[in-house]
Amino acid sequence: MPPEAGFFTVRIGFLGGSFDPIHLGHLLIAQDALEGLGLDRVDFIPAAVSPLKNRALTASPAQRMEMVRLAIEGDSRFGMLDMELQRGGTSYTVDTVRELSRRFPGAALFWVLGTDQVQRLAEWKDIGELVGLVEFVHLARPGLAGVEPPPISGLRLHRVGGHEVAISSSELRERVSRSLPLRHFVPLKVADFIESQSLYRPNP
C-alpha cells in the first residue's frame, strides 16, 4: 500500500528471524520499535535459512509461519510476510529489502535488529546497497549495551530504548526437550500449538 501523495509517508518496520519458536521477547521488540519510532506497523518475516546461523531449523516453514500467525493474531499493528520462505534458499536481507522496496514504493522502511547483529552488519551481503534502501533500528539485548556501530558509509541506525527480555528460542527448545512448560514465555496459543505438534521433543 503506497503512501498517499502530499499527506504522509508510511513507515513500516520489519523483523526477520527463524522464529523457531517465536516468543514474547520477539513481540516486545516489535512493539518497542513500533512505538519508539512511530511506525505504522511491523511485519514479521520468517527466514528460510539464515546466512549467519549454522543450526538446522527444527520446525517446518509451515509450522513457524503458523506460530507467528498465532502470536500476532488480533493485533492489527503486526503482520507477517512469507517472501523469504517462498523464495527458499539462504535468506539474504538485501534480496528481501529489494522486494520490499518494489512492494511498498515511497514508504520508509526500517529493519529491526539487536545489538549482537549491529556488530555483524559489515558481514551482511551487499551492505553498501542495503543501507541505501532501509534504515536500521537497534534494540539493545541484555548484556550487550553500548556497542559502537561499524563504520559503514551511509548507515542510518536508530537506537530505540525499550524492554530487555532475556528469552531465546534455543532456551525454549531446551525447555521443551526437558518437559518444562513454555507458558509465560510464548503466547498461550503458540504454547498449545507446540504441544499439539510435539515440537522440540527428543526423538523417541
| Containing structural domain, residue 69 | 11-142+149-166
In this structure, of 2-6, 90-94, 115-119, 194-198, the range with the lowest mean pLDDT score is 2-6
Q: What is the mean pLDDT of the chain?
A: 89
Domain containing residue 55: CATH number = 3.40.50.620
In a domain, 188, yes or no: no
> The cell 535468506 sits on which residue?
91
**Cell matching residue 134:** 532501509
Higher-confidence residue of 142 and 13: namely 13
Say what the pLDDT of residue 50 is: 77
In a domain, 182, yes or no: no
Residue 204 reports pLDDT greater than 60:
no
What is the distance between the alpha carbons of residues 144 and 194, in angstroms, rounded to a whole number? 30
Residue 145 reports pLDDT greater than 60:
no
Residue 27 reports pLDDT greater than 60:
yes
